[in-house]
């Protein structure tokens, strides 16, 4: 059994330390008193051979100083020893009592930590009293619990949404297979139709799994590859597979792609540009517009994608960066994974950048990404 061997608790160690320090100081004071008592004795000049009675005992004048010194030291030693014992015992008692009160918040922290689990993160210490180091520790612990509770809640919601998204294509596949297999007269055309539906559902599930893996990679491990990247080139590469869809919908596109040098993982940054451009096409209106700009300002390289589209509530814009949000509506669209902007934010944060979104008056969205700029060496 691990952890069964325990030494004296913190309360006992503090009590022992305080008692030992007081005992040491008291012993030092007793020794000083004993020394001073001997040196402070003075005797009158008496003729040789004179006898003096001290405490009922006759003492010759030549031995009077020594006898008085020994007597004074004995009295100091007896009285001091009694005081020494009383002080040490009082110190031990007071230290034990007050240490218990001082350490009570620490016991509260320990007790709360022992009672906590993933299902009971709502408990808090909420320590009241003097704002000392112990109170600061309790407040720090409460703040940590707040972050943990938020993380667990987000994780539960993420898992629930991911399960829902994965269940939909799997249900489609199962239903199509059951219906087709139960029809003894199914011909080649019916089988081809079923295969097409299953293929579409499988591709949707595959895209969702890839998006989940990418999001987990950037959220958990960050970036492992850092290379010079120009956001203008990334936009050009990401736009090529999307251009046909934009043309089919009659979208008017404008590109102002000036040099925008940065550094990072080229594949992840291309995914950022691709997600922004795909969203601009997918959530647009037929005959709408898309405006893409890249540039360099001060210490930041920027990528801005604006597009027309449905009206977005400015107060809910920030929600678009949450997982499984599509245009501010939870898991209702039939296209996409609902992870596009969540992946954008995770990748940008992993590259030490920032991303903000703004609603376009009249309908649409503008998303701006800022990444640390990479300046070429002097002389190049």
Residues 356 and 295 grouped into a single domain: yes
Pairing, β 325-326 against β 329-330: antiparallel
For residues 285-299, give the mean pLDDT: 91
In the structure, what pLDDT confidence band is assigned to residue 328 with cuts at 50, 70 and 90? very low
337-348 pLDDT per residue, tens: 566 787 788 888
Residue 135 in any domain: the answer is no
> Based on the domain organization, do 198 and 231 belong to the same domain?
no
- Residue finishing a domain among 175, 199, 220: 220
For residue 195, tell me if it sits in a domain.
yes
Whether the CB-CB separation of 176 and 192 falls below 8 Å is answered with no
Please tell me the predicted confidence (pLDDT) of residue 344.
83
Answer whether residue 75 is part of any domain.
Answer: yes
Q: Answer yes or no: is pLDDT of 89 > 60.
A: yes
Specify the range with the lowest mean pLDDT, choosing from 74-83, 92-101, 316-325.
316-325
DSSP element (H, E) containing 326? strand 325-326
Average pLDDT in the 65-74 region?
A: 72
108 CB-side CA count, 13 A: 19
Please identify, among 100, 115, 130, the residue that sits at the C-terminal boundary of a domain: 115
Residues 248 and 367 in one domain: yes
**Strands 289-297 vs 300-307: parallel, antiparallel or unpaired:** antiparallel
The pLDDT score that the predictor gives to residue 331 is: 38
CA atoms lying within 13 Å on the CB side of residue 187: 1
Q: Among 104-118, 256-270, 329-343, 347-361, where is mean pLDDT lowest? A: 329-343
**What CATH number is attached to the domain comprising 354?**
3.30.565.10
Asked if residue 284 and residue 212 are part of one domain, the reply reads no
Do residue 216 and residue 286 come from a single domain?
no
* 130 part of a folded domain: no
**Same domain, yes or no: 328 and 242:** yes
> Does position 17 have pLDDT exceeding 70, yes or no?
yes
**Residue 330 lies in domain:** 227-372
How far is residue 201's CA from residue 25's CA, in Å, rounded to a whole number? 82
pLDDT of residue 54: 59
Please answer whether residues 47 and 61 qualify as being in contact, where contact means their C-beta atoms are separated by less than 8 angstroms: yes
Same domain, 210 and 260: no
Mean pLDDT, rounded, for 246-267: 90
pLDDT at 214 over 80: no
Which of the pair, 167 or 261, is modelled with greater confidence? Answer: 261
According to the model, what pLDDT value does residue 266 have? 85
| Residue 311 and residue 339 share a domain | yes
In this structure, the answer to whether residues 256 and 342 fall within a common structural domain is yes
> How far apart are the two ends of the chain, measured CA to CA in Å?
66
209 and 253, same domain (yes or no):
no
**Which DSSP string do the residues of 329-340 spell out, in sequence order?**
EET--SSS-S-H
Domain at 186, CATH number: 1.10.287.130
Q: What angle do CA 362, 367, 370 make, to 5 degrees?
A: 150
- Span 222-236, pLDDT tens digits: 566 788 999 999 999
Q: How many domains does the chain have?
A: 3
- Decide if 143 is inside a domain: no
Mean pLDDT of 262-278: 87
Tokens 């829902």 sit on residue: 164
Could you tell me which of 15, 158, 197, 199 has the C-alpha nearest to residue 89? 15
Alpha-carbon distances of 269 from 206, 254, 274, 277, rounded to whole Å: 21, 21, 8, 12
168, pLDDT greater than 70: no
Q: What secondary structure does DSSP assign to 69-119, as a single string? A: HHHHHHHHHHHHHHHHHHHHHHHHHHHHHHHHHHHHHHHHHHHHHHH--TT
Q: And the tokens for 41?
A: 């004795």
Question: So what's the pLDDT on residue 233?
Answer: 92
Upper half-sphere CA count for residue 321 (Cβ side, 13 Å):
19
Q: Is residue 303 part of a domain?
A: yes
Note the pLDDT of residue 10. Answer: 76
**Which residues lie below 8 Å from residue 80, measured CB to CB, with a gap of 6+?**
29, 30, 33, 34
Are residues 163 and 69 part of one domain? no
36 lies in some domain: yes
Dist CA 215 CA 52 (whole Å):
102
Are residues 249 and 335 located together in one domain of the fold?
Answer: yes
With 90 as the cut, is the pLDDT of residue 213 above it? Answer: no
Indicate whether 33 pLDDT > 60.
yes
15 domain residue, yes or no: yes
Highest-confidence segment of 36-40, 115-119, 159-163, 302-306: 302-306
Instruction: Give the Cα separation of 243 and 251 in Å (integer).
Output: 10
- pLDDT at res. 2: 46
- Residue corresponding to tokens 């120009």: 230
pLDDT at 70: 75
Average predicted confidence (pLDDT) for the chain: 78
| Dist CA 61 CA 52 (whole Å) | 7
The domain boundary, picked from 197, 220, 243, lies at 220
Segments in the chain forming alpha helices (H): 10-39, 64-115, 133-182, 188-220, 231-239, 243-248, 266-282, 340-350
């Amino acid at each position: 059994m691990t952890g069964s061997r325990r030494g004296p608790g913190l309360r006992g160690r503090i009590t022992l330390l305080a008692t030992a320090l007081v005992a040491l100081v008291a012993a030092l004071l007793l020794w000083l008193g004993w020394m001073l008592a001997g040196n402070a004795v003075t005797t009158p000049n008496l003729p040789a051979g004179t006898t003096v009675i001290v405490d009922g005992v006759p003492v010759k004048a030549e031995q009077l100083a020594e006898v008085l010194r020994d007597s004074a030291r004995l009295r100091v030693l007896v009285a001091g020893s009694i005081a020494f014992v009383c002080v040490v015992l009082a110190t031990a008692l007071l230290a034990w009592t007050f240490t218990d009160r001082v350490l009570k918040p620490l016991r509260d922290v320990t007790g709360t930590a022992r009672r906590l689990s993933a299902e009971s993160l709502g408990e808090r210490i909420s320590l009241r009293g003097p704002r000392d180091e112990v109170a600061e520790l309790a407040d720090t612990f409460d703040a940590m619990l707040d972050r943990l509770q938020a993380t667990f809640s987000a994780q539960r919601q993420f898992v629930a949404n991911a399960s829902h998204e994965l269940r939909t294509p799997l249900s489609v596949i199962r239903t199509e297979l059951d219906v087709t297999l139960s029809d003894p007269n199914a011909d080649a055309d019916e089988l081809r139709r079923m295969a097409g539906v299953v293929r579409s559902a499988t591709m949707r599930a595959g895209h969702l799994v890839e998006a989940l893996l990418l999001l987990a990679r950037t959220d958990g491990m960050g970036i492992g590859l850092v290379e010079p990247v120009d956001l203008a080139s990334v936009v050009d590469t990401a736009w090529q597979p999307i251009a046909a869809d934009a043309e089919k919908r009659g979208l008017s596109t404008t590109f102002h792609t000036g040099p925008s040098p940065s550094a990072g993982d080229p594949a992840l940054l291309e995914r950022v540009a691709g997600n922004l451009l795909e969203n601009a096409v997918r959530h647009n209106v037929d005959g709408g517009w898309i405006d893409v700009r890249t540039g360099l300002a001060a210490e930041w390289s920027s990528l801005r994608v604006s597009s027309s589209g449905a009206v977005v509530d400015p107060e809910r814009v920030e929600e678009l960066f949450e997982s499984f949000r599509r245009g501010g509506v939870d898991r209702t669209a039939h296209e996409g994974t609902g992870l596009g902007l969540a992946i954008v934010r995770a990748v940008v944060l992993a590259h030490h950048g920032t991303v903000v979104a703004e609603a376009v008056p009249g309908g649409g969205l503008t998303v701006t990404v800022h990444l640390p700029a990479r300046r070429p060496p002097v002389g190049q």
